[in-house]
Amino acid sequence: MMNKLFSLFAALLFTMQSFAQSDYYKWELQNLSDISRLAEYRVGKMQQLSSYDRSGGNDDGFSGKYSYIRKEGNDLVLADIKGAGIINRIWTPTPSNDTIQFYFDGEKVPRINMPFIDLFSGETYPFVAPLCGNEIGGYYCYLPIPYEKSLKIIYKGEIMKFQQIQYRELTHKEKIQSFSWEYFNSNPVLSEISQTWKHMSLSSLYNDEIKMRKINFTIKGGKEQQIFTLQQGGRIVGIELDSDYNLQSKSDKLIFKAKWDNEKENAIDVPFQSFFGYAFGKPSMKSMLLGATQAMCYSYLPMPFDGQANLSVEYKSGNKEEEITLSGRIYYTEKQRDKRREGKLYTQSRREYLPEPGVPYTIADVQGKGHYIGTILIAQGLNEGMTEYWESDDCSFIDGEMRMHGTGSEDYFNGGWYAVTDRWDRGISLPIHGSLLYDIKTARTGGYRFYLSDKINFNSSYVLTIEHGPEGNKLDVDYTSVGLFYADKPQFKNQYLTHVVNEVPRRDILLPQDMTMRLYWFTQASFNGSSMIISSKREDHWTTNIDFEAVPMVQFDLTGMDNGKYKVTVVHTGSNEARPFSVWQRTNQVSEWISGNNNVQTTSYAGEIEISDQIKTLTLRKKKMDNTELQIDYLIFEKIE
C-alpha cells in the first residue's frame, strides 16, 4: 500500500513539475504578444553567439572563419550550451538548404533536423510567420526554442557565413522542458501572437481597466505645455496624437517629455521625430509598439508609475508668435506599479555629430537594475556617395561584461546587405524591427528594433555601442538615436544636439547605378561599369515636336533629397557620337549647352536648381535634330540654401 501511495505521489509530483515547465514555456511565448508585460523584470543571463571578426577586422561572416565554435568531422558546431535556457532569436542573411540540427539534453538524435532556410520560410510549423520570416535582406526566427539541460546546434554545410544566436540562461528557479513539436499541436498561442503582431488591441490587453482622456492644446513658440497628468498611481498604456502636415513640418522643434513621481529628471525627453520614428522629417517607423503614420503619432509602450505622471510637449521655436495645435487621446489604467516586479520606462536620447575617431558611438549607458527594450537609430553619412559607415558592429556590455557582439548595423536591425536591390534598399516597417530609409545619394539610412521575449535584462549596468566604420571607427557620420529601457530609477541625462556649429560641407552624389529614372520614348540606356550610356536618335514623331529645340532624353528622380537650393555639376565622358546636351528642371533650362571631348571625363557646372515637394526631378535634353550618345558618370548636388 505504501509503495502504491509513493508511486502515486511521485506521479503526481512529476505531473505538477511537467505542468509547471509547460506553463513557463507558455508564459515565454505569451511575452511575444502581451506587451503589457514589457515593464516586468526578468532574471537569467543574456548571451549571443555570432560570426563577428574576433581580430577587430570586418570578416564578420564573409569567409565563415568565425561562424562556428569548432568542427566535429565535417560538421560545424554553432553552439554547445550547458544548463537550462531559451534561444530567443536566430538571424542570418545567408540561409541555405543545408541541414541544421538541434540536439537537446545530450540526446544522440536531433529533435530539430531540417534545412536551415526552413527556420525562416514562415511555412514550416511551428516556425511560422510573423515570428519567422525575411525582409530587408535579413532572415529571422523569434520562435523561442527551450532546452532543459543542454543544447548543441550542428550545421551540416561546408560553410556557415553570417549568423547570430541570442539566448538566455535560466536560473535554477525557472523550470522548463526542452522543445517539443507536439506542444504546438493543440496550442492556440501562435495564432494569438500572429493576430497581435498584425493588429494591436489595447482593449484585449487591459480589458475593462482601460480609461481614455481626450486632449486638445495649443503651444506657442518657446513654451512647454502639460498635456496629461495623473495624481495617483497607475500606468499610461497608449498615446495617440493626431498628425497633419503642420505637425510633420515642425516635428524637429517639438520635444516630448514624461516625468514619473517626484523624480528630478525627465524619464522621457526626446524630440518628436526621434521618439516616433521620423526619418528626416517624414513618418517612417510603423511598429506595433511605437511609430507614426500620416494621420497619427502613437505609443503603446506601458508606462507604470507609483504616484504621479506628467506628460508635456515643448515647442522649441524662436518665434514666440508661432503656435501649433495638437489633439489626441491618452489611454491609462489605475493599476499601480508593482515595485518588486516592474520598472519604469526611461529613454536616452542622443545625437553625436562627427563621433570621435577610434571610439564607437554610444546609444545607451544605463546604471542600475532593469532591462533594455528598444533602439531607434538615424544615420546621416558625411562622406559623399557612400554608406560604408553602416558596415559597423553593435556591441552590448551587460553588467560590465561584453556578451553580445554584432556583425553589422543592418544586421542588428534584422536586415542585411545594404545598397543591394530588394535587400536593405529602402524604408520598410515590420512589427518589431525595420529600416527607416535607405538612400545612397544622400548617404542616409536608419533602423529600429524592439525586444519582447528577447529583452536584455541587467542587474547593475547596460551599455550599447555601435561603430562608425568597418574598422577603427574612422568614418564621418551624424548619428541620432533613442534607447528605451525599464529601470528602477533615473540615472542619466539626455545628450541631443539641436544645431551643429561648423558643419562639414556635404555633397550629395547621384550615381547611375542608384538612379531611379524615366527614359524618353526614343532613348536607350545601358551601363558601362558604374556609368550610364544614353543613346537618343533623331525621330520625326509628334512626341518629339512638342518641344521646339530641346528634346528630353532621361529624367532623374530626386526623391529623398531635402528641399532647398543646390548647385548642380555633371561628370560625363564623351564619345564619337557625343553631341551637346543640357540640364533642365521641368520646362526651365538650368544649364547652357554642354559638350565633351571624346573618351575624356569632364566635370561641367550646370547651374542652380531648387528642389521642393512638387518638383523633385532633373532632366537631360538634347538638340532636336541630333543623334547623340553620351556617358553620364555621376551628378553632384551641393546645397547652398
* DSSP character string of 431-478: SSEEEEEEETTTTEEEEEEE-STT-EEESSEEEEEE-SSSSSS-S-EE
Model confidence at 10: pLDDT above 50: no
State the CATH number of the domain containing residue 519: 2.60.120.260
pLDDT tens sequence across 328-358: 999 999 999 999 999 999 999 999 999 999 9
Domain boundary (285, 316, 334) is at 334
Answer yes or no: do 178 and 223 share one domain. Answer: no
Cell of 571: 561628370
CA 14/CA 7 separation, integer angstroms: 10
CA 511/CA 525 separation, integer angstroms: 14
Domain boundary (198, 225, 257) is at 198
Answer yes or no: do 241 and 132 share one domain. Answer: no
Amino acid at 336: Q
Task: Identify whether 66 is part of a domain.
Answer: yes
Task: Identify whether 503 is part of a domain.
Answer: no
Tell me whether strands 268-271 and 278-279 are parallel, antiparallel or unpaired: unpaired
Res. 627 pLDDT band, cuts 50 70 90: confident
Cα dihedral across residues 424, 429, 434, 435: positive or negative: positive
Give Dmax over CA atoms of the chain in angstroms.
Answer: 110
CA 334/CA 365 separation, integer angstroms: 31
What average pLDDT does the segment 570-592 reach? Answer: 91
What average pLDDT does the segment 175-185 reach? Answer: 91
Answer yes or no: do 114 and 168 share one domain. Answer: yes
CA 267/CA 20 separation, integer angstroms: 37
Lowest mean pLDDT among 256-260, 361-365, 486-490: 486-490
Res. 405 pLDDT band, cuts 50 70 90: very high
Res. 9 pLDDT band, cuts 50 70 90: very low
Res. 6 pLDDT band, cuts 50 70 90: very low
- CA-based nearest residue to 18, from 182, 188, 191, 193: 182
Helix (H) or strand (E) holding 277: none
- Contacts of residue 215, defined as CB under 8 A and 6 or more positions apart, other chains included, come to 227, 228, 326, 327, 328, 329, 330
Model confidence at 608: pLDDT above 80: yes
pLDDT tens sequence across 368-381: 999 999 999 999 99
Neighbours of 210 (CB within 10 A): 16
Question: Beta partners for 418?
Answer: 424
pLDDT at position 20: 53
What average pLDDT does the segment 112-123 reach? Answer: 96
- Contacts of residue 466, defined as CB under 8 A and 6 or more positions apart, other chains included, come to 360, 361, 363, 377, 392, 393, 394, 395, 409, 412, 479
Task: Identify whether 176 is part of a domain.
Answer: yes
Q: Are 41 and 337 in contact (CB under 8 A)?
A: no
Cα within 13 Å of Cα(88), Cβ side: 21
Give residue 304's domain range: 210-334
Percent helix, strand, coil in the chain, to 5, is: 15, 45, 40
Q: How many domains does the chain have?
A: 3
pLDDT tens sequence across 183-226: 988 778 898 899 999 888 898 889 888 999 999 999 999 999 99
Task: Identify whether 491 is part of a domain.
Answer: no
CA 303/CA 236 separation, integer angstroms: 5
Model confidence at 541: pLDDT above 50: yes
pLDDT at position 560: 87
Answer yes or no: do 175 and 219 share one domain. Answer: no
Model confidence at 542: pLDDT above 70: no
* Percent with pLDDT over 90 in the chain: 73
Task: Identify whether 70 is part of a domain.
Answer: yes
pLDDT at position 453: 95
Tell me whether strands 433-439 and 517-519 are parallel, antiparallel or unpaired: unpaired
- CA-based nearest residue to 236, from 220, 253, 213: 213
Model confidence at 508: pLDDT above 70: yes
Model confidence at 41: pLDDT above 60: yes
Answer yes or no: do 194 and 305 share one domain. Answer: no
The strand order across the sheet containing 268-271 reads 224-230, 309-315, 254-260, 268-271
Answer yes or no: do 264 and 139 share one domain. Answer: no
pLDDT tens sequence across 424-469: 999 999 999 999 999 999 999 999 999 999 999 999 999 999 999 9
Query: Which one is predicted more confidently, 113 or 515?
Result: 113
Answer yes or no: do 274 and 177 share one domain. Answer: no
pLDDT at position 598: 82
What average pLDDT does the segment 547-559 reach? Answer: 86
Cα within 13 Å of Cα(430), Cβ side: 25
Domain boundary (138, 170, 198) is at 198
What average pLDDT does the segment 543-553 reach? Answer: 74
| Residue 481: DSSP 8-state | E
Task: Identify whether 183 is part of a domain.
Answer: yes
State the CATH number of the domain containing residue 272: 2.60.120.1390
Max avg pLDDT among 178-187, 204-213, 250-259, 283-292: 283-292
Answer yes or no: do 190 and 238 share one domain. Answer: no
Res. 18 pLDDT band, cuts 50 70 90: very low
Give residue 177's region: left, alpha or beta (phi > 0; psi -120 to 50).
beta
> Mean pLDDT of all residues in the chain?
91
CA 468/CA 389 separation, integer angstroms: 5
Task: Identify whether 477 is part of a domain.
Answer: no
CA 101/CA 90 separation, integer angstroms: 14
Answer yes or no: do 134 and 232 share one domain. Answer: no
pLDDT at position 545: 62
Cell of 9: 505521489
- CA-based nearest residue to 259, from 344, 146, 380, 317: 344
- Contacts of residue 249, defined as CB under 8 A and 6 or more positions apart, other chains included, come to 281
Tell me whether strands 517-519 and 123-124 are parallel, antiparallel or unpaired: unpaired
| Length of the chain as a residue count | 641
Model confidence at 32: pLDDT above 70: yes
Query: Which one is predicted more confidently, 327 or 185?
Result: 327
Answer yes or no: do 32 and 140 share one domain. Answer: yes
Answer yes or no: do 73 and 12 share one domain. Answer: yes
Answer yes or no: do 159 and 113 share one domain. Answer: yes
Task: Identify whether 359 is part of a domain.
Answer: no
pLDDT at position 544: 60
- CA-based nearest residue to 292, from 313, 271, 309: 271
3-state secondary structure 55-70: CCCCCCCCCCCCCCCE
Model confidence at 14: pLDDT above 50: no
Lowest mean pLDDT among 310-314, 356-360, 377-381, 499-503: 499-503
